[in-house]
């Protein structure tokens, strides 16, 4: 399957509900997505099918101070019918490379539900380790 990784654009906000309709995907308000597009546009990428359909996306940012300057994955999600094809790994690679090459980040971090076994397995495969558990992070 030929997939294009391209920058997320404003119009994508009208076409990504099918990707977000998943209980393990965090969905934010419109202002949150707009803030990321304005402040960290190169950290917001889409995996697009040949027919133009969005298959997944990643959004993140650079943050921290000194040796804690790093890339942060705010969200990475792949539409349920497009999973198990390596798109999550490709989207993560885009964010990791950007964090290292352009922003000179020392590492990349993220939060994931401990119950999201598929995501935890992917992050372990990519070399991520559990730094700490944040109780109540996803409640509310």
Distance CA 77, CA 79 (A): 7
Regions of the chain with pLDDT less than 70:
1, 135-140
Give the separation between CA 79 and CA 38, rounded to whole angstroms. Answer: 24
What is the reported pLDDT for 23?
A: 75
The string of pLDDT tens digits covering residues 100-114 is 999 999 999 998 888
Q: pTM for the complete prediction?
A: 0.88
Alpha-carbon radius of gyration of the chain:
15
For the record, the structure tokens of 42 come out as: 């190169």
């Amino acid at each position: 399957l030929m997939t294009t990784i391209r920058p997320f654009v404003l119009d994508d906000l009208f076409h990504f509900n099918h990707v977000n309709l998943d209980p393990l995907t965090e969905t934010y308000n419109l202002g949150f997505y707009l803030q990321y597009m304005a402040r960290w546009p190169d950290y917001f990428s889409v995996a697009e099918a040949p027919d133009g359909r969005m298959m997944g996306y990643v959004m993140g940012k650079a943050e921290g101070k000194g040796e804690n300057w790093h890339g942060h994955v705010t969200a990475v999600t792949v539409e349920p019918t497009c999973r198990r094809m390596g798109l999550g790994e490709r989207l993560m690679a885009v964010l990791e490379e950007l964090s290292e090459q352009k922003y000179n980040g020392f590492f990349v971090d993220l939060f994931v539900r401990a119950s999201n076994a598929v995501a935890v397995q992917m992050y372990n495969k990519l070399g991520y380790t559990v730094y700490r558990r944040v109780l109540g992070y996803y409640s509310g």
